[in-house]
Each structure stands twice: as structure tokens, then as C-alpha cells.
A and B are shown apart, each in its own frame.
Chain A
Amino acid sequence: MYIIVVGGGKVGFYLTQTLLADGHEVLLIERDAEKAERFVDTFGAVVVAGDGAEAATLMNAGAARADVAIAVTGEDEDNLVICQMAKQKFHIERTIARVNNPKNEHLFRLLGIDVTVSQTNYILNLIEQAIPERSFVHLLSLRHADLAIVDAKVAGSSMVAHRAIGEIELPVNTVIAAIARGPHLIVPTPATELLPGDDIIAVAHRDQEDALRRLLIAG
């Protein structure tokens, strides 16, 4: 695959390194000429200095035959325009943008960016998962279907404790996919009884995440 990476910060640097190691053809575009020169010492002739939002830079980078464009600069407006130019002008099929301000994630999706990666949200999620006794953790967003995968711990005081799944009225568009009880994975059936301390892995439509949280956590 031919992949164009724009922005030579830490993310762009390690991304380029990883993609090259995976055997992809990569071109890294970095605005700062001195920085770009240093990258040439590391990566060889796969780095060019230039503005990735400028058509001439993309053209020289062979954007017309690129499969993927990834914009990982520190400025959201630059990442947005880089991806839109890649798509509109060079018809690059897949565009991925880093989102620095989590508020912009929703916006980027509306504006046609295929995939957005919000560092802030990602780190927040990881920290949430690491905090012990967190009772409801958002594990993953499945963007295309607007679904979320969540992990909820059943409290002793919860309404659903000691009840069979079949008796529980789940919010619409939610499903209990698995139950982790200590070291055991339980594939749920309507007869499965939920016990305090169970970790429920559920898939929920984004709109229903709060309803599910209230049901599983509230006493």
C-alpha cells in the first residue's frame, strides 16, 4: 500500500517507522525543512519538506496513486483540510485524521473524514479502564454503526443483581455480548443469572449508553 503521512511530530515519526517496518510504501510530509532533513537521515528518501495542504506538495508526493492519507499534525484545521484536499483533489480513497480537540471528532465525521483518531479521548479511555472499581467503562466506539462497546460491573445493590438476563428489560438497541465472572467467560443465555461483581460486556447504540448505565449501575 502507498501511504502518505502528513506531520512529523511524535505520532507522525513513529507511524512512519511502523508502516515502513510493515513493508508499506510511505511518504512523510513535514512542513519544517530542517526537521524533514533530520528525518531523511533516519528514514532515507521517504521524507519531503512541504505544506501537506498544498496541492503542489501532494502532487509531487504522488498523491494520485496513494491509497491512504493520514494527517497527524498538531492543528485540527490543518488535518481537516489535508484530508479533504486528498479526497477531493486526488481522490485518495481513505483519509485518517488526528483530532487534537475532542470536540472536533463529531465535526470531522460530518465533514467527510473517513476515520478520526482522538488522542485525548483514547488516553482518557485507557485511564478510565485502569481506575479500579470503575463501574461503567466505555471500551470502544464502532464508528460506522454508531455503536459502543462497554464494560459494566454489576454492583451488589444493582436492580439486575441475582436476576436472569431474560427477566431484565434492556434498553432498545443494546445486547449483552459476554459476561466475565472472575477468570471465566460466560456466553449469556436468557437463563444466565447476573451476580454482583460480574463484568458485563455489552454492545449499545450510542444513544442508549446512558440508559444502559443507569439500568446496570443504579440500585
Chain B
Amino acid sequence: MKVIVMGCGRVGARIASVMDHNGHNVTVIDTDSRAFRRLPADFAGDTIIGTGIDEDVLRSAGIDEATAFIAVTNGDNRNIMAAQVARLIFEVPEVVCRIYDPVREDTYRRLGLTTVCPTTSISAVILDHVIHADNAVVHRGGGG
């Protein structure tokens, strides 16, 4: 399938390279050409310099044929705007949007976007570890 990844940070570059390895047709968009250095040397997909909130940039990235659009720049608002453009204007079937701010994430999820909030999911993982450790201490304390 045809996938567009907006934002070539650590997450964007990783998603792009995994999808590429799995044989998908991947295009990565970033405003900074240096960001593409994060892609592996054997990356076979396309790279485009530009902002994903520009309809013309999205068109040249092939959004008309895209099955999936993934917005993972560092800007919540940029991801939100690009995801809405992809979903509502270009009707891309699968659109995923990263939003760091949990309140904003909640709001846009309710509006129908598929969202990922690293803040809540990573906190949950860490808390889980901490609580586990705490339980273990209690357990050990109780046993000794």
C-alpha cells in the first residue's frame, strides 16, 4: 500500500523504514532535508521537502493514491491540521495523528480522528513499572 509519513523524526523515520522493509510504497515529508539522514541507507521510498499542511505538497507526495497518512511531526497543531486535510479533503482511508497534549488528543479523538498520545501511553507504561516495583517491595516486606 501507499503510505505517507509526515515528519522524519525518530518515530517517523522508524515507521517509514519498517513500512519500506515490508514492501510498501512510502513517501516521507519533512521541512528539513537533514531529517532524512535518519532513514536507513537502503531506504527505497521517496522523500519530499515541505510542510504537510500544504495541499500542493501533499498532492506531490501522492496523497490521492495513499491508503495511509501518518502525522508525526513535533507540532501537535501541525499534525492535527494535516490529519484533517488528509481525512476530509483527500479522504485517505487510514489517518493516524500524534498529539502530545492529552486534552487536545481527547478532543480530536471525539471528532473522529485516529490519535496517539505519547504522553498518556508512555506515562501509563512507566507508572505500571513503578506500581509493580512498589507491589514487589510490599510483597518482599510482607514476606521478610
Contact = CB atoms under 8 A, between A and B. Distances in A.
B125 interface: no
B77 interface: yes
A102 to B, nearest CB: 12
B81 A89 contact: no
Nearest to A55: B103
A103 B58 CA distance: 13
Interface in A82-119: 84-85, 88-89, 101, 103-104, 107, 110-111
Interface string B65-98: 0000000000111101110110011000000000
Nearest to A111: B84
Given A53-B76, A54-B103, A111-B88, A77 B110 contact: no
Most chain A beta-carbon neighbours within 10 Å: one of B55, B78, B81, B88: B81
Contact of A80 (B81, B107, B111): B81
B48 interface: no
A78 interface: yes
Contacts, number: 53
Name the interface size band of chain A.
20 to 34
A77 B89 contact: no
B54 A103 contact: yes
Most chain B beta-carbon neighbours within 10 Å: one of A75, A77, A103: A77
B83 to A, nearest CB: 11
A56 interface: yes
Contacts of A77: 53, 75, 77-78, 80-82
Nearest to A103: B55
Contacts of B75: 77
A104 B101 CA distance: 24
Interface of B: 53-56, 75-78, 80-82, 84-85, 88-89, 101, 103-104, 107, 110-111
Given A88-B111, A89-B107, A107-B85, 5 more contacts: A77-B77, A77-B82, A78-B77, A80-B80, A111-B84
